[in-house]
Amino acid sequence: MSLGSALHGVGSIIYGKFFVTLPIPTSTPQLSESIIIVTGANTGLGYEACKHLSHLGVGKLIMACRDTTKGETAKKNILASTGRPASSIDVWRIDMDSYESIKSFANSASELSRLDGILANAGLMTTEFGLSEGTERNLNVNVISTFLLYLLLLPKMRESQKKTGNIPRFTIPNSSLHYMVPLEELKSGNRKIIDGLNDPETSKMARRYNLSKLLVIYAVREFAERSSSSGKGPTIINTPNPSFCKSSLAKESQGTAGFELFESAMARSTEEGSRTLVHGVLAGLETNGQYLTDCKVQCPANHVTGPWGQEVQQRFFSELLERLETIHPGISAHI
């Protein structure tokens, strides 16, 4: 991580907080017939995004949550605020810590009449090393499980596009923290990147969330390029940065005096941040494969776009596909 990269990341937070007014999401003609899924939907940015989407008149909103009881409460609150009929929102269960749960969810989604958008909002930020499905938890939930869901839903998205003419979107929240990453964890020599990140002896957990978001950008760029050239039909995958927002994501830091002060001074409201995610799930082809900030395409860090970053991107993507193949054999053919 260079000093310039870190300053750019911090600067984008400051600029967005004090000099940017995010646009309020507006409806489109297709929304009244659309089906959109939001994961991590019962709290934080996911909940606020669901409120926006319901208010905009999405035909069917699927709130995907690990705890469906909390999801039903969130649904009730959203309907009370938007006045939409109960039939406009369904609550489904998904646990992004469980591959079987993700597969079951994707199987159910494949039975939908159409699928126009997925906001893959469910994420994890922890500095404690722990394994989930044999992989470090930040890496597993934020990266491997998220792209497992993407590839499992991609055939349905393409089927929907052919049926409706509406290009489906898959949106994954990102962060300016990808500018502030311990790059030495990616300089693994002959060792696989994922194996190194799964080693408790060498893992730098203080910035593991940051690194997971960098890996998301690498994968989004690769998937966008490869799926676009596959000839199987257009889809959009993008990764918007809502910037620093008040949410439950950084719950390990909440309650400390320094964090509370910084959050009070610098954080966007959860509702404001959710506007960027709704923009991503409704955005056009120009956002395919792109990192977005303040509802606009932005160039990511040099350790993404430079020659070194491109080499790491290729290596990591190959490892990611290999790992996904072990979870669901044949899944790479979905690209």
pLDDT at position 14, please? 76
Q: What is the pLDDT of residue 13?
A: 73
Q: What confidence tens digit (pLDDT) does each residue in 282-310 have?
A: 999 999 999 999 999 999 999 999 999 99
How would you classify the pairing of strands 131-132 and 135-136?
Answer: antiparallel
Q: What is the mean pLDDT of residues 199-215?
A: 96
Higher local confidence (pLDDT), 256 or 168: 168
190: confidence class by pLDDT, cuts 50, 70, 90:
confident
Catalytic-residue membership of 209: yes
Give the closest residue to 150 by CA, choosing from 216, 58, 68.
216
The CATH class, in words, for 3-325 is: alpha beta
Write down the number of H helices and E strands in the chain.
Answer: 12, 10
d(CA 164, CA 152): 20
The active-site residue, picked from 47, 179, 209, 291, is: 209
pLDDT over 70 (residue 256): no
- Segment 130-152 shows an average pLDDT of 98
Classify burial at 280, counting beta carbons within 10 Å of its beta carbon; exposed 0-12, middle 13-18, buried 19 or more: buried
**Which pLDDT score, from 0 to 100, does residue 257 have?**
56
Using pLDDT thresholds of 50, 70 and 90, give the confidence band for residue 206. Answer: very high
Is the pLDDT assigned to residue 249 strictly greater than 70? no
Q: How confident is the model at residue 267 (pLDDT cuts 50, 70, 90)?
A: confident
pLDDT for the residue 262 = 61
Average pLDDT over residues 227-231: 94
Is 162 labeled as catalytic in the residue annotation? Answer: no
In the chain, what is the straight-line distance between the N-terminal and C-terminal CA atoms, in Å?
Answer: 32
Average pLDDT rounded to a whole number, residues 192-212: 95
Domain assignments of the chain as residue spans, ordered by start: 3-325
pLDDT for 258 equals: 60
Burial class (CB in 10 A: 0-12, 13-18, 19+), 147: buried
In this prediction the pTM is: 0.94
State the pLDDT confidence band at 60, using cuts at 50, 70 and 90: very high
For 38-67, what is the mean pLDDT? 98
CA–CA separation, 282 and 167 (whole Å): 10
Query: Residue 163: helix, strand or coil by DSSP?
Result: helix
The one-letter amino acid code at 240 reads P
> Which residues touch 10 (CB under 8 Å, ≥6 apart)?
176
* H-helix segments, 165-306: 193-197, 208-228, 257-266, 270-282, 302-305
* For range 5-10, the mean pLDDT: 63
Q: Is residue 199 helix, strand or coil?
A: coil
Cα–Cα dist 131/119, whole Å: 25
Q: What is the dihedral of CA 188, 206, 269, 124, to 10 degrees?
A: 70
Beta carbons within 8 Å of 44's beta carbon, 6+ residues apart: 121, 247, 248, 249, 270
**Is pLDDT at 11 greater than 60 in this prediction?**
yes
Q: What is the pLDDT of residue 70?
A: 98
Assess whether pLDDT exceeds 70 at residue 241.
yes
Counting residues of the chain whose pLDDT is more than 70, the rounded percentage is 90
68: its two tokens: 């469906």
At 179-188, the pLDDT tens digits run 999 899 998 7
Residue 46 tokens, joined: 């996911």
Q: What is the pLDDT of residue 255?
A: 56
For range 65-85, the mean pLDDT: 98
Q: Count Cβ atoms within 10 A of the Cβ of residue 4 and give its class: 0-12 exposed, 13-18 middle, 19 or more buried.
A: exposed
pLDDT tens-digit map of 86-138: 999 999 999 999 999 999 999 999 999 999 999 999 999 999 999 999 999 99
Which is catalytic among the residues 51, 60, 156, 213?
213
Average pLDDT over all residues of the chain: 93
Token pair 């923290």: residue? 177
| Backbone φ, ψ for residue 182 (5° rounding) | -75, 90
